[in-house]
Structure 1
């Protein structure tokens, strides 16, 4: 039975009953307890002093293991590159017992290690910004030849610009680009390719032919593995913004696909979309911080394990196992824990397969903290190790048995038998068989589908793929007709890589294959080869109603690569909406000038995919605004619109808001008091998302009238719009009068506060009623939104000396979330007496925990030298407290009482902590801080406590703050929500953003201060703190 057939049978059984996880047992080793399946053993095979902090590993053809060994440095990479001090160690098992007993420093003074690969006599090491090729020409165990094989020319502070390299079965070398630095390439077709996005790239072993395989907005694609048929998979952090426990992912890397997260970089013009939607994740991993990824090739663990994926999960302290099951043209997985440690400092970073089918698991230890969301406690002394997991009773293959052998005189029939019986020689045997196949001396059966025969046929395809010559191409084409789909997919992938034009007629026939994965890979190949004979068959294949998202992508992407615009335009009147959708998308991505009438008509389609694609295309054509305004008018009044339809309409209106026709349409309809509520609220939301630096005058007038005459949701949404986008200066006075009237009306407190917060330039003065409302709203028991609004109003309002003194008196009882914003209130005065009062308040024990010396200096720098001098004693206190942070953490942890989970949930949801304003658990909560749905599974009690006591000690990846200074001297510190060529949008607090035009930016630098305030623990009793920690630990 073929491997694909086995997978299909497994899928059918799985639908009948839920899979049961394998039984497990525990092994105590190295002071920790490992949990792994029954029938497996684990042993330590390397560690100090041979290797201290192993990161990744790769075997050579003689069983010697090359390991990247970190120095333990956590300096930013821009500093490390000045004095690189990492190593590559070569380990040997001289006794043949599976334990390494000899180490040689193969290469020293290496940059931060991000991956390693032995291939054809050289060791390739990913060391940002380069991949190095290291060769030992005299076999003394030391690399005497060092070459830069690839130079990405970019290196960010975290080093996620580059991971890998990884060897594909096709003989090409693959690697990952993360971070979002701009890189430039020349593709094999001569076109320039400029990108800031994440990618999998590949190139020939000689470094030529560089091309992207997939594109993404993820931060850190970090592991790549291949099925025997050539299908690619990778793991990554931040496939999406954290939500409902999802964040990182295991992904089927479809050629040309654009994956999450939704980030500005994926919209660069060189990235071609096939749909408005990102490609799907295969398996959600949560906050796993995945590292190494392996596709298990052997059957030593049993046939159920062959072609399983194994993924290292750094944060979760485990290696997971993923059984692939075909699903349409892609895969889904059944997921199990394979190896789990109870040691908080066990961090697996690589998993590789030895020749005997055992697995080596690399534990790097506790040294790594660079850009790591875990505790900033340096644990360079907690060293790593390498472990071997094998089936109980299995016998290790001695490294000496793997030495190269002469197969030239072995008869072909015997070679075929050797393949199944001598796994240690398989690579050499495959090479010999492929040579004979290419020369016509040997033919493989296309009908034999035993697992060994299928595995051999796939391997021969790849050996042929690595060979030049017509004979290799012809032999590979013949294998497209193999009875097993896996072999056909491998042969199609080989033809695709070689752009084998002579294979086109055969591949066109494969577009009708019964297997969706085969059809998908055939489409990929036809697009890459670039023969116009394929256009018509691809169009026909699109009409199949059984096509899924992944197959539709490959068919559409092939049409984009073929670039036959006349055929595509002639197909826009095809009777099948699937065909019209794909042709519209392809033409749009090719830059073809589309007829707006065709697109507008498609926007009315009952086919959801066609309608969505048409709306997406229309959103990038402002010249169609006049026609679209009429369409929007009809949609706006449609009472049958679902919430999702309205959200889509908001985005459409926002995209076109800068065109005269739509700008006028929105302005005229915003103040239609006879109109129902929902259309007007839709308009306000579109205005807020329009991207204007200030509102057009027509909008400002309309919104001012809304403020004068409206109540309820309409008024609230109008105020939110006015807070998001300021009005022109000539409209400010009129709006201020209207807002002031709302602030003293009978409206709810939050509405009155929002009105004051929306006043252009801040409230010019505050009467007693307004000031009392603001002070009352700062009470810790008030909702976080009200407290934030009150602090924002006070920070911008013009206050009298008495009012400033009243704010100072309030500081000791204000919440830590508001204190920093309240300090901004004092930027309006240089009064020395006020300055001294302020310092006296800041020195009190109640306030100090919420302060940072850098932040205070920025807030009081305008006061007199006398005040500055007096502030030195405050800085001394703050710095002394910083020095005692570790002791305080230890003491608090030592005295932490047992907590109650239910009470902790109440603390989390309370107005006292306002945790829910920034953090999500499940589907509930704010989005500006990390998702905490599964935080208890990846963070220790100490880590959680440290993040509450000292939130600026470490920053979670993708939540690092930026400090932006504008040309007029303003400074903003916040989390970047958008970092685009035209503007930067920072999240300053749960209820506040700053939109800064690029032309106004003077400097952008990494922030040192979290927007999460210090001192939250001071708002809680010891029992409440313990309860909160208990609740967070239970979130798994």
Structure 2
């Protein structure tokens, strides 16, 4: 491990005190509580039954910085994903529940266990909950990940029913639960707080993996909706789109996050990157109403088994870094091999030669003292002393208010700000009045904390002060005031909020101002702003009226702005329109003009139109446009989530198939392929597709796709068509050609002679095409044909990876001797992990030295087809994980295993699903979903759109869409070259 010059690192705790620490937190005595893993990788539902994990308490009895005493504070715990000591109890997030553990007799063992919160969901990756974390406001915060539906009661309002990611908060004494943030990310983890109470969050999948981006750190602004783009956020109010990440980290899997309160690092963040084997330091810099954060490496390990999961600052200013070891592999492809014997440890990093801090926790000080003395400690340079003073004053309650309110104006900013935080934890009007007085200060930091305080208490008496603050020229204070005004819900605030919108170009501040209008939910107070001369004010008014409950925006207000010369208004009108599939009829004239001007299409136009395909007026428009070969219309029709395709569309595609031009022809074929088949085949459409398939002037990919969509309608396949398809399944053909050709052959009514000829295609067939070609032989029972194709299959390069059920089904119609020979091809196949590992090790040992440049050619070749599904930088497919920085997070063995055994593990958010309908079973990666449908990527060039109404069962898949068999498809030198290229892939498009 390396740390920056001027720092030193030592072990603070290791086995046998702790073996697999995950998350840590100190109590006010300096005792360290640890969420300790047992090393189990059992399914989480089994772990919920077994409860094999524990909470440890470590002590440093001699003050040398190394822990030397261990107590098992709580055993029999579900996987603990957060630990917090607060007010004599230890709170532990162990999904689906958040526990409050208390040691009532001070023997070091929790004897009282209470459920503080029950989320009632536990998904396969157990990322339903992380935390909890204590806010400076005294609320307990935690995060919700995964996408399981949870319900939260809200007094006086409809319950919050949500599948989205969130930060939630609740007072320690219980009561209602509030959502602070919403998102489409899979795994929000740790929340840290600035001295002003602002929230910062580590999370995975803030964006779909591409261009070296994925995970990061966000400034968790109240009411914000953050990425990735996901249907789970659709039911939540938005202010015009997703808010951006503060710091992008790539596929780093950030976990722990700490705000440094002491030493030379004060004001910086530290974050642990599980996948990158490092801890980073992030310089937090104010930028308008938010922050920027520039990451720099702080601690870096060259061990692939070093997985840091938490970082915290000790009372003396040193950092503790938690390495959990190499046990974890649940939903984590970077830890493919579970190594529970490779233990973790806790490391201490301190500045070399840093002066010793005397009594860093104030343990020698008396704490059973009056409020005046405690107030005097709020500005202490020792963070632990300050925090203990805040807690002690809060514990004293109303009797402490006078001393807190009377803090000297000449006291430090720190002391006066901490007085506000102590008051925030005290209920009652005297405490509220004292905080309101603090709103008048000229000190920005103190005022910011006071604004947060009146916000969480919804203190209506602060209205006038907040109205003044929201219009003052200070973006962070304006944003905090806007948050408070929205929570007050007083329509009197609307004019001030709208005035502030017109005076700023800060997008984060604009979000908070707009969200406040949404929360106030008074249409009469907002509608006059629709006539404003300021585009920004009109934008905020439109969004607020549209997103408040109930919505109060009419289509007639939006439609004229779709063609506005003011880009901001046109963009806003377009965004609002896409939120309303019921507005299709009103929008048909607008879309007619757009289609005429952009016949070749565009993602924006197609996405907008796609929301309205159930509307009869839009259906008619699309049919008229498609008849003339409008590519955009044809693409929209292909993606339409309709159970029954309108007859006018089928007729339009028939007309387009008879036209000229490669792009319209391809789009028309893809539409016909994508549509669900009617009960009675459409003879005109089938005939049109066959004409395209037999047209030797059309591109090969279009011909193959057309035949794939129509060949089943034939009674027999003519020789020229068969010869074309047979030639197009050769390994040297491009993927978009050989895939459809193989599928066409698998369904075609081939003669005995044609099946015999097809046997020659089996030995060289690629892993994607071989299963389809084998399926073709299932339509015959001729013993001679059977003997020939089984013999040919024995020489196939992809035989070892052919699924047994495909072979058994193809051989079933044939005489018994053929069936026995087919079964013999699979005899001795071993699927167990040990055999796979043996093969992997042997393959590693025999691979020659690879060449990066040759590996790049292999990656992009039609033989390996890696770039069909995986992107590096701007180039490549999006079906599989992005590989822009894959060399940083995967070892050579990991990379080889991913190529050889792609179904051994799945990257989170790329797990395959098996979806069963009444008529079919689909296996693929979900790439898009909404309330109406799920779209699966079945392979490099095929997708299935499945209406939710047709789904009978959804279950996790076990077979990757990435084909097995590439190790046999490539030579050993090609494989070595490919690995060298992937290992060298450590850059990102910036």
Q: TM-score range by the shorter chain?
A: over 0.9
Contact 1:130 1:152 in 2 (8 A): yes
Which has the higher mean CA deviation after the structures are superposed, 981-990 or 219-228?
981-990
Residue 751 of structure 1 is matched in structure 2 by 702
Q: What whole-Å deviation, never above 9, does each CA across 1:187-242 have from its counterpart, x for those lacking one? A: 24443100011111111112322011111111111111110101111111111111
1:461–1:942 Cα change, 3 Å: same
| 1:139 partner SS | coil
Equivalent in 230, 247, 258 of residue 294 of structure 1: 258
Task: Call closer, same or farther: CA 1:429–1:82 in 2, change over 3 Å.
Answer: closer
SS in 2 for 1:1014: coil
Q: Paired residue for 1:928?
A: 879
Asked if the contact 1:61/1:402 (under 8 Å) is kept, the reply is no
Offset from partner CA, 1:482-505 (integer Å, 9 cap, x none): 333222211111111000111110
> Cα distance, 1:409 vs. partner?
5.3
Which residue is equivalent to 1:499? 458
Q: Deviations over 1:518-571 (max 9, x none)?
A: 111110100001122211111211111x33221111111111111111122232
CA deviation map 1:866-901 (0-9, x unaligned): 766665544443226865211111122223322221
Checking the alignment, whether the CA contact within 8 Å between 2:121 and 2:148 is kept in structure 1 is yes
After superposition, give the CA deviation of every residue in 1:289-344 in whole Å (9 maximum; x if it has no partner). 1111111111x2x1xx2121111100000011111112221111121011110111
1:1028 to 971, 978, 981: 978
Matches within 5 A, 1:595-994: 595-638=554-597, 646-672=602-628, 680-726=630-676, 728=678, 732-745=682-695, 746-759=697-710, 761=712, 765-829=716-780, 839-844=790-795, 846-853=797-804, 856=807, 872-879=823-830, 883-968=834-919, 970-994=920-944
- Specify which of 101, 108, 111 is matched with residue 144 of structure 1: 111
Q: C-alpha separation between the residues in 1 aligned to 2:539 and 2:360?
A: 59
Residues in 1 aligned to 2:646 and 2:500: alpha-carbon distance in whole angstroms? 48
Of 602-611 and 402-411, deviating more is 402-411
SS of residue paired to 2:343: coil
Number of the residue aligned with 1:350:
310
Q: Which residue does 1:274 correspond to in 2? A: 239
1:568 aligns with 2:526: yes
Deviation, structure 1 residue 823:
3.6
Distance 1:835 1:482 in 2: 89
For the residue of structure 2 that corresponds to 1:612, the secondary structure is: helix
C-alpha spacing 1:657/1:411, structure 2 compared with 1 (3 Å): closer
Superposed CA RMSD in Å reads 2.5
1:96–1:400 contact (8 Å) kept in structure 2: no
Work out whether residues 812 and 841 of structure 1, in 8 Å CA contact, stay in contact via their aligned partners in 2.
Answer: yes
**Could you state the TM-score of these two structures normalised by the residue count of structure 2?**
0.95
Maintained 8 Å contact 2:730/2:761: no
Conserved? CA contact 1:374–1:954, under 8 Å: no
1: CA distance, partners of 2:711 / 2:652: 16
Q: State the distance in 2 between where 1:517 and 1:150 align.
A: 32
Q: Distance in 2 between matches of 1:441 and 1:908?
A: 66
Q: Is the 8 A contact 1:437 1:443 kept in 2?
A: no
Further displaced range: 422-431 or 786-795: 422-431
Q: In structure 2, do the counterparts of structure 1 residues 843 and 486 end up closer, same or farther at CA, with 3 Å as the change threshold?
A: farther
- In the alignment, which residue of structure 1 is the partner of 2:401? 438
* 1:49 and 2:27 correspond: no
- TM-aligned CA distance change 1:954 to 1:623, over 3 Å: closer
User: Which of 153, 164, 176 is matched with 1:209 structurally?
Assistant: 176
Structure 1's unaligned 5+ residue stretches are 1-33, 674-679
Query: Which residue pairs with 2:124 in the alignment?
Result: 157
CA distance in structure 2 between the aligned counterparts of 1:408 and 1:236, rounded to whole angstroms: 41
Distance 1:441 1:648 in 2: 56
Do the aligned partners of 1:419 and 1:430 also contact (CA within 8 Å) in 2? no
Q: How big is the shift at 1:839? A: 4.9
Q: CA deviation at 1:425?
A: 2.1
1:722-753 deviations in whole A, cap 9, x for unaligned? Answer: 22224645562111211211212121211211
Q: Distance in 2 between matches of 1:765 and 1:946?
A: 43
Residue 303 of structure 2: SS of its match in structure 1?
Answer: coil
Q: Which residue of 2 aligns with 1:25?
A: none
Match of 2:352 among 358, 367, 392: 392
Counterpart in 2 of 1:462? 421
Mapped to 2, the partners of 1:63 and 1:506 lie a distance apart of: 40
SS at match of 1:165: strand
Is the partner of 2:439 in helix, strand or coil?
Answer: helix
* Partner Cα distance (2:347, 2:830) in 1: 44
State whether residues 711 and 744 of structure 2, in contact with CA within 8 Å, keep that contact through their aligned partners in structure 1: no
Shift of 1:817: 2.2
Q: Match of 2:126, SS?
A: coil
1:1001 deviates by 2.3
Alpha-carbon spacing, 1:593–1:515, altered in 2? closer, same or farther (3 Å)? closer
Equivalent-residue separation in structure 2 for 1:854 and 1:367 (angstroms): 34
Contact 1:173 1:202 in 2 (8 A): yes
CA gap 1:168/1:829 in 2 versus in 1, 3 angstroms? farther
Task: Name the CA distance, whole Å, in 1 between partners of 2:680 and 2:913.
Answer: 33
Deviation at 1:671, TM superposition (A): 1.7
1:520 is the counterpart of 2:479: yes
Q: In structure 2, the residue corresponding to 1:812 is in which secondary structure? A: coil
Structure 1 partner of 2:58 = 91
Match of 1:548 in 2: 506
Structure 1 equivalent of residue 100 of structure 2: 133
Given candidates 1005, 1011, 1015, the residue that maps to 2:955 is: 1005
Counterpart CA distance in 2 for 1:548 and 1:859 is 64
Task: Give the match's secondary structure for 1:378.
Answer: coil
Q: Is the 8 A contact 1:55 1:70 kept in 2?
A: yes
Pairing of 1:293-372 with structure 2 (within 5 A): 293-298=257-262, 300=263, 302=264, 305-372=265-332
2:535 alignment partner, one of 577, 580, 583: 577
Q: CA deviation at 1:668?
A: 1.6
Q: CA 1:52–1:628 in structure 2 vs 1: closer, same or farther (change >3 Å)?
A: same
What is the rounded CA distance, in whole Å, between the counterparts of 1:46 and 1:399 in structure 2? 21
Q: Secondary structure at the match of 1:356?
A: coil
Post-superposition shift, 1:860?
6.0
Unaligned runs of 5+ in 2: none
- In 2, are the aligned partners of 1:96 and 1:398 still within 8 Å (CA)? no
1:447 Cα deviation from its structure 2 partner = 6.8
Count, aligned residues = 981
Task: Find the counterpart in structure 2 of residue 220 from structure 1.
Answer: 187
Distance 2:215 2:574 in 1: 30
Shift, 1:386, TM fit: 0.5
Task: Report SS of the residue matched to 2:349.
Answer: strand
Matched, 1:379 2:355: no
Partner of 2:2: 35
Q: Is the 8 A contact 2:329 2:336 kept in 1?
A: yes
CA distance in 2, matches of 1:834, 1:175: 64
- Deviations along 1:684-717, one digit per CA (max 9) or x if unpaired, are 1221232223431111111101111223212112
| Change in 2 beyond 3 A, CA 1:1007/1:274 | same
Name the SS for the 1:879 alignment partner: coil
Cα drift, residue 419 of structure 1: 3.5
Mapped partners of 1:89, 1:338: distance in 2 = 27
